[in-house]
Amino acid sequence: MTLRVAVIGAAGRMGQQVVETVERADDLELAGRFDVGDDLGDLGGADVAVEFTVPGATLANVLHCVEQGVHAVVGTTGWTDESLSQVRSALAVQPKVGVLIAPNFAIGAVLTMLFAAQAARFYESVEVIELHHPDKIDAPSGTAIRTAEVIADARRAADVPPAPDATTSALDGARGAQVDGVPVHAVRLRGLVAHEEVLFGSPGETLTIRHDSFHRASFMPGVLAGVRGVVDRPGLTVGLEEILDL
C-alpha cells in the first residue's frame, strides 16, 4: 500500500531533506509541501504528516493533523509535559490516529541515549555537551535535554548522589545549564550539523559516548521508520526507540 505523506516545514533544512526522501521511496507519495503562512487544510489528503518546523508552531500543527485524522511524525523540539498532554487530549477524540514525537531520528543518537541511561548508575560524575550548526534557534538541543532526563532518571532509581562539584565561584553559564541536575553545555559552530557527547567519570576512569550527525541524511531512516510505523500505532508515542523496539 502506498502511503501519502505531507511535509510541514517543507522549505526548511529538515523539510527539504524529508521531501527528497519521500519522493525517492517506492512505497510513499508526496501529498503536499507546507511552510509558514500556508493553510494546512486537509494536508493534501495525506495519510501521514511529517512536521519539522519551530518550537512555537509545532503544537498547533500537530493538533491540526489530529483534528483532520492525519497521523503525524514530529521532529520539532520544544515539547513540554503540558503540550504533550494537549496532544493526548486531542487523540482521545480521534482514537485511530497516531502521533510520534521524537527528539532525534538518527539511530546513533537514539542509541546514545539508551547507552547513557545504562551507564548512568555506575559513575559519580556526568556532563552532556551538545554541538550544533549556528543557525539552530534553541539551546540546549531537545536531544540533550532528553539525554539528561534519562540519565537523571537512572541515577535517581539507583540512588546515585549528586555529582561532585567544588565550584564556589563561576562566570554565568560556565557550568552549563542544569537539566534535572545534569550540566548541559551547548556549542554553536559553523561547519557542524548535530553532535552530542556524554561524559561519565569515576575515580581513575572516564567513559565518553559520542554521536555525530554529519549530514541530515542521518535522520532519514528514522523518519521513514516513523512514517511506516505510526499508521499502526494509535495514540501518542514519544521517542523513536519505541518504534524500533529498542
Known catalytic residues? 132, 136
43 and 68 Cβ atoms separated by less than 8 Å: yes
Going through the chain in order, the beta strands assigned E by DSSP cover 3-8, 28-34, 48-51, 71-74, 98-101, 125-132, 177-179, 182-188, 194-202, 205-213, 235-238
Options 21, 58, 61, 77; binder of ligand LZUJQKHR; rule CB under 6 A: 77
Per-residue interface string for the shown chain with ligand LZUJQKHR, residues 128-147, x marking contact by CB under 6 A: ----x---x----xxx----
> Does the footprint of ligand LZUJQKHR cover residue 239 (CB under 6 A)?
no
Tell me the sheet residues that pair with 72.
49, 99
191: left (phi over 0), alpha (psi -120 to 50) or beta: left
For ligand NDP, the binding residues (CB under 6 A) are 8-9, 11-15, 34-36, 52-55, 57, 61, 75-77, 102-105, 142, 219
Residue 185 labeled ligand binder:
no
> Does the footprint of ligand LZUJQKHR cover residue 104 (CB under 6 A)?
yes
Q: Which does 36 bind (CB under 5 to 8 A by kind): ligand NDP, ligand LZUJQKHR, none?
A: ligand NDP
3 and 22 Cβ atoms separated by less than 8 Å: no
H or E stretch at 40: none
Q: How far is the CB of 65 from ligand NDP (least distance, A)?
A: 12
Cell of 140: 540546549
Q: Which residues are annotated as a binding site for NAD(+)?
A: 9-14, 75-77, 102-105
Residues that bind ligand LZUJQKHR (CB under 6 A): 77, 103-104, 132, 136, 141-143, 194
